[in-house]
A and B are shown apart, each in its own frame.
Chain A
Amino acid sequence: MITCKDLVGFLVDYLEGDLPPEIRMALERHLEGCECCHAFLNTYKKAVSTLRAMKEEEFPAELKLRLHSFLRENVRGAFDKDDEGR
């Protein structure tokens, strides 16, 4: 039997699909009957998905040009053509 305390320790493996089937089934049985753990899992997953949404960090064109210009100065032959048009 899995307790609420045990469940927290299994969350990474559960979300990675790395739990042995018997533990996964026991965990899911616990979740069905435990509102608190259900809420904890939902919010743990939501924290992860909110983080993933932050991946889409815009790389500003100005900073891109600055990087290419830096490499042009420090790496012979790099980015010596105009950046526009690529």
Chain B
Amino acid sequence: MPLSDAELVERAKKGDIGAFEDIVRRYEGKVFGCGMRMMGNAADAQEALQDVFLSVYQKIRNFRGESAFSSWLYRIAVNACLMRLRTDKRHTSVSLDGLEGTFTGDGRRASPVLDWSQEPEERFLSRETREHLNKAILSLPEEYRSVLVLRDVQELPISEVAEVTNLSIPAVKSRLHRGRLFLREKLSEYFGGKR
């Protein structure tokens, strides 16, 4: 049976290089996936990946086990991506207002909503849709993007996203919601509808 994260971490702290390698192998794909969604290209994701595992090696003795090891590692990963993004001058900013739709005075929807969720599955899996979605993720402000990537792409529980990002649970939920509304809107435009 494979060793748990906690067992591997204890061994790695004592200098067991094999345990460190096992940690790398266990998480390299996930960290790469996180980097791809955060930064949008393999070259930057690869650079961040190297930073992350070098930091893990250098700092693992400081890991006290107060949170899950995966939360600690994702925090390093998100920070590595943010550090790289902040040195990148290609910056876009988008508005996250008005994504809920428009309402009448008594709170009813003022216009119909097109239900594109029933489009054939292959349209959602197509390269074109993925590229469109990827572009939309990358245009989100970083603080929304990291929450969305951790919860909806990496599927971390909300409580763990809060630990990784040092945000309260309501703040995580609020950012997640705005990020999702933005992507829903982008997909609505893509599938030809209006909200």
Contacts and interface: CB of A to CB of B under 8 A. Distances in A.
Interface of A: 3-6, 8-9, 11-13, 16, 34-40, 42-48, 50-57, 59-60, 63-64, 66-68, 70-71, 74-79, 86
Contacts of B134: 54
Question: Nearest 9 A-B pairs (CB), nearest first?
Answer: A3-B107, A39-B115, A46-B117, A5-B107, A42-B117, A39-B113, A57-B33, A47-B184, A59-B29
Interface of B: 17, 20-21, 24-25, 28-29, 32-33, 36-37, 42, 46, 49-50, 53-54, 57, 100-101, 103, 106-109, 112-118, 124-125, 129-130, 133-134, 137, 148, 152-155, 158, 173, 176-177, 180-181, 183-184, 187-188
A57 B148 contact: no
Given A43-B187, A54-B153, A78 B32 contact: no
A75 B50 contact: no
A50 to B, nearest CB: 5
B101 to A, nearest CB: 7
Nearest to A37: B109
A54 B184 contact: no
Given A3-B106, A50-B124, A57-B36, A8 B100 contact: yes
Contact of A43 (B107, B109, B117, B148): B117
A59 B49 CA distance: 11
B159 to A, nearest CB: 10
B155 to A, nearest CB: 7
A70 B109 contact: no
Contacts of A63: 32, 42, 46, 49
Contacts of A39: 112-115, 117
A60 B46 CA distance: 10
A46 B124 contact: yes
A51 B152 contact: yes
A78 B21 CA distance: 7
18 contacts: A4-B103, A4-B107, A8-B101, A12-B177, A12-B180, A36-B112, A43-B117, A44-B180, A46-B116, A46-B187, A47-B180, A51-B153, A53-B125, A55-B155, A57-B37, A63-B32, A67-B28, A67-B50
B152 A48 contact: yes
Contacts of A4: 101, 103, 107-109
B91 to A, nearest CB: 23
Contact of A44 (B20, B130, B184): B184
B136 to A, nearest CB: 10
A65 to B, nearest CB: 11
A84 B109 CA distance: 59
